[in-house]
């Protein structure tokens, strides 16, 4: 009559394998984590046929005794929970199931020599079946070979994607681990080709060594257009690089997050980054980013998912706030610097044959163009406080330090020469031509002024002689009326009329004569979208941005040379003036050297 049976252990392991090792990249992640937990400083990873035929990882960690070797492939066997406390995990592994799971679905061979032993041993397994240990020869450390992955679970084998896709995943996995474990040398070979080869860094090496290592791991474009950020407090340290706003992507795929040495995915952190850039980037664009967080192990729960790629913070609000603040501070400090990829793109459009030689533009000049030199700071009212922070705050990277040291150019954006098409100011610096998009620059300056005015509670309003009536959806009207008070404090005085109309009585004077209907509709949309944000400050910035877009003079106006120069000088002292608040650049700088190349003079 009874129908319930206990599952045999090889089935249990196959089920677990379904969760832990969905594809070759996941196997590699588990094995690399094991090697790092074993103290390895050098890892050699070989894959054949995108990991289907062979995955081999050679490490120089502490190795295993023959007894441990036998146990290592048992389910729920681990050396990593000495405190028996699941809430203070300091190793990458802790579940004791990776080797058992992988062994259940492949042919596996582990050869290992413990650091205190003269002898090495080899354990062979097939579909979860153990063979007797055999003596072997191996230096201190461990080699694990996985052959014919998924051979015992044909259904899973069918789910494998093309070699190319699987290899991309492997690459991505190894890349992430290499970014965060700087003390480990990584080599990755695929079908005889070396794909990645980075040295280990020792503790004493400075930021530039790490930067150099990073440059070979990820897109050098990113590193050359990124600002470092750093935040440290009791029990929490955050550091990393964030791209200049003008270097952005349509997705978050260029963002890497690491918490306590673990690559993770996390919505909360992504939101924090979005808020950090809210001021300088459109909603649908995303910066590139590397973020490394070290946090007390008790403050995170890593036991959320078998692959350990997700975590939970015990104090999510604090984390989000800190990351947002760290990014904002770093981005303010770069002033008006824009990514050097802009000039490159511009030049390539003018003459596509200039496309190769990717490093020519990057390497030449990392100077934050629109940062005022410390000597000049005293005579400029606005950024003095900011500059003091710039100088006093320790910035880990020599790149940035150099750049502050060599700013001697008296006028970063140069002298205005002329205006073209009523919108483009052309200026000349010592060694370049600068083209400013007057409209975008105005928008940015206005935006910063409004933000300042709102922060100081000094928004002045202008009474409309004839109140303007705007027709809206009922939901838009409701949204705006719910924020009536706040909007009034930001200079926009509205009243409801009926279900679908709003009467606008006053507007912020700074806007001149805006297109009121368009402004009100955009505001309603933005506020609806922001609905879930609890922090008022977050919305203020979006609302300033929307308002700044609707200022009266939308396109350019003819400017005198004095006016043009005034605008340039204002840009130089306005925070984040390198881009409008949608992340588009406000100016393009073309180096003379590049222009000479354009004409074949170099
Ligand atoms: P976990 O990593 O969660 O402990 P695993 O199944 O991945 O579980 O590994 C089981 C045990 O095998 C580890 O706890 C460790 O003691 C040992 N081990 C695995 N890989 C290595 C390695 N490369 N070097 C030394 N020991 C290892
Ligand atoms: Mg493990």
Nearest C-alpha neighbor of 31 from the set 124, 143, 127, 176: 143
Percentage of the chain surpassing pLDDT 90?
38
Q: What is the mean pLDDT of residues 335-362?
A: 54
Provide the 3-class DSSP secondary structure of residue 530: helix
pLDDT surpasses 90 at 361:
no
What's residue 552's pLDDT? Answer: 46
Distance CA 327, CA 424 (A): 31
What's residue 380's pLDDT? Answer: 28
Note the pLDDT tens digit of each residue in 240-284. 999 998 888 888 989 999 999 999 988 889 989 998 998 788 878
Q: Is the distance from the beta carbon of residue 97 to the nearest atom of ligand 1 less than 6 Å? A: yes
What angle do the packed helices 267-277 and 316-333 form, to 10 degrees?
30
> Which CA distances in Å does 31 have to 57, 63, 369?
7, 13, 45
CA-closest residue to ligand 1 atom 19? 34
What's residue 371's pLDDT? Answer: 30
Q: Is the distance from the beta carbon of residue 142 to the nearest atom of ligand 1 less than 6 Å? A: yes
Beta bridge partners, 431, equal none
Q: What is the mean pLDDT of residues 374-386?
A: 29
Give the distance, in angstroms, between the CA of residue 363 and the centroid of all CA atoms in the same chain. Answer: 22
Task: Name the band, by pLDDT with cuts 50, 70 and 90, for residue 349.
Answer: low
Note the pLDDT tens digit of each residue in 45-57. 999 999 999 999 9
Highest mean pLDDT among 34-38, 431-435, 558-562: 34-38
pLDDT surpasses 70 at 533:
no
Query: Are the beta carbons of 448 and 459 closer than 8 angstroms?
Result: no
pLDDT surpasses 70 at 554:
no
Q: Is the distance from the beta carbon of residue 95 to the nearest atom of ligand 1 less than 6 Å? A: yes
Q: Is the distance from the beta carbon of residue 35 to the nearest atom of ligand 1 less than 6 Å? A: yes
Distance CA 297, CA 422 (A): 58
- HEC profile for 47-105? EEHHHCCEEEEEECCCCCCHHHHHHHCCCCCCCCCCCCCCCCCCCCCCCCCHHHHHHHC
What pTM, to 2 d.p., does this model score? 0.69
Q: Is the distance from the beta carbon of residue 38 to the nearest atom of ligand 1 less than 6 Å? A: yes
* Closest ligand (CA of 78): 1
The helix (H) or strand (E) run that includes residue 538 is: helix 536-549
Note the pLDDT tens digit of each residue in 3-24. 998 988 888 888 877 777 889 9
Which residue from 19, 37, 63 has its CB within 8 A of the most atoms of ligand 1, so it is best to mutate?
37
Q: Is the distance from the beta carbon of residue 23 to the nearest atom of ligand 1 less than 6 Å? A: no
Q: What is the mean pLDDT of residues 414-437?
A: 91
Note the pLDDT tens digit of each residue in 447-488. 888 888 877 878 888 999 899 999 999 988 998 898 888 888
What is the bridge-based pairing of β-strands 587-591 and 312-313? unpaired
Nearest C-alpha neighbor of 156 from the set 25, 55, 23, 31: 23
CA-closest residue to ligand 1 atom 1? 96
What angle do the packed helices 163-180 and 24-37 form, to 10 degrees?
20
Note the pLDDT tens digit of each residue in 488-528. 888 899 999 999 999 999 998 887 778 888 888 888 877 77
Q: Which of ligand 1's atoms lies nearest the C-alpha of 62?
A: 25
Percent of the chain that is helix, strand, coil (3-state, to 5): 40, 25, 35
* Closest ligand (CA of 70): 1
Q: Which of ligand 1's atoms lies nearest the C-alpha of 144?
A: 23
Cα 82 to averaged position of ligand 1 atoms, centre (Å): 14
What's residue 133's pLDDT? Answer: 97
What's residue 390's pLDDT? Answer: 32
CA-closest residue to ligand 1 atom 20? 34
């Amino acid at each position: 009559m009874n129908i319930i049976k206990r599952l045999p252990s090889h089935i249990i392991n196959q089920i677990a394998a379904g969760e832990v090792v969905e594809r070759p990249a996941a196997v590699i992640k588990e094995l690399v984590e094991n090697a790092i937990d074993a103290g390895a400083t050098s890892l050699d990873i070989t894959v054949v046929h995108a990991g289907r035929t062979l995955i081999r990882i050679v490490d120089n960690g502490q190795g295993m005794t023959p007894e441990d070797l036998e146990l290592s492939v048992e389910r729920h066997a681990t050396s990593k929970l000495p405190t028996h406390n699941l809430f203070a995990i300091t190793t990458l592994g802790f579940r004791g199931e990776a080797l058992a799971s992988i062994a259940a679905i492949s042919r596996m061979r582990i050869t290992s020599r413990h650091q205190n032993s003269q002898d090495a041993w080899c354990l062979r397994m097939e579909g979860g079946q153990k063979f007797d240990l055999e003596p072997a020869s191996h230096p201190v450390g461990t080699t694990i070979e996985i052959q014919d992955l998924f051979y015992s679970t044909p259904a899973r084998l069918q789910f494998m994607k093309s070699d190319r896709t699987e290899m991309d995943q492997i690459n991505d996995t190894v890349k992430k681990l290499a970014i965060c474990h700087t003390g480990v040398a990584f080599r990755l070979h695929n079908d005889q080709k070396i794909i990645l080869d980075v040295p280990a860094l020792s503790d004493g090496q400075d930021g530039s060594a790490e930067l150099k290592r990073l440059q070979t791991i990820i897109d050098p474009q990113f590193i050359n257009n990124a600002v470092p950020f750093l935040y440290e407090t009791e029990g929490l340290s955050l550091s990393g690089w964030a791209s200049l706003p003008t270097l952005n992507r349509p997705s978050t795929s260029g963002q890497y997050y690491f918490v306590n040495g673990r690559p993770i995915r996390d919505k909360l952190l992504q939101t924090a980054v979005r808020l950090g850039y809210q001021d300088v980037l459109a909603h649908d664009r995303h910066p590139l980013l590397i973020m490394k967080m070290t946090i007390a192990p008790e403050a995170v729960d890593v036991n959320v998912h078998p692959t350990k790629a997700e975590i939970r913070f015990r104090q999510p609000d604090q984390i989000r706030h800190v990351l947002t603040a760290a990014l904002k501070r770093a981005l303010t400090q770069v002033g008006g610097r824009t990514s050097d990829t802009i000039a490159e793109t511009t030049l390539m459009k003018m003459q596509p044959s200039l496309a190769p030689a990717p490093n020519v533009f990057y390497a030449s000049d990392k100077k934050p163009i629109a940062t005022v030199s410390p000597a000049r700071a005293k005579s400029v009212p606005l950024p003095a406080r900011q500059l003091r922070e710039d100088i006093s705050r320790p910035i880990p990277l020599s790149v940035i330090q150099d750049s502050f040291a060599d700013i001697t150019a008296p006028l970063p954006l140069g002298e205005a020469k002329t205006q073209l098409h009523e919108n483009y100011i052309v200026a000349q610096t010592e060694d370049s031509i600068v083209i400013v998009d007057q409209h975008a620059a105005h928008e940015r300056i206005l935006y910063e002024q409004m933000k300042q005015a709102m922060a100081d509670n000094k928004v002045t309003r202008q009474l409309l002689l004839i109140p303007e009536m705007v027709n809206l959806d009922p939901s838009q009207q409701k949204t705006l009326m719910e924020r009536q008070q706040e909007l009034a404090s930001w200079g926009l005085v509205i009243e409801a009329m009926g279900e679908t109309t709003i009467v606008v009585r006053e507007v912020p004077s700074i806007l001149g004569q805006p297109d009121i209907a368009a402004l009100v509709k955009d505001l309603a949309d933005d506020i609806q979208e922001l609905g879930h944000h609890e922090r008022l400050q977050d919305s203020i910035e979006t609302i300033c941005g929307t308002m700044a877009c609707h200022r009266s003079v939308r396109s350019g106006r003819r400017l005198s040379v004095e006016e043009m120069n005034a605008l340039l000088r204002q840009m130089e002292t306005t925070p984040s003036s390198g881009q409008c608040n949608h992340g588009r650049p406000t100016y393009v700088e073309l180096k003379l050297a590049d222009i000479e190349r354009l004409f074949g003079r170099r």
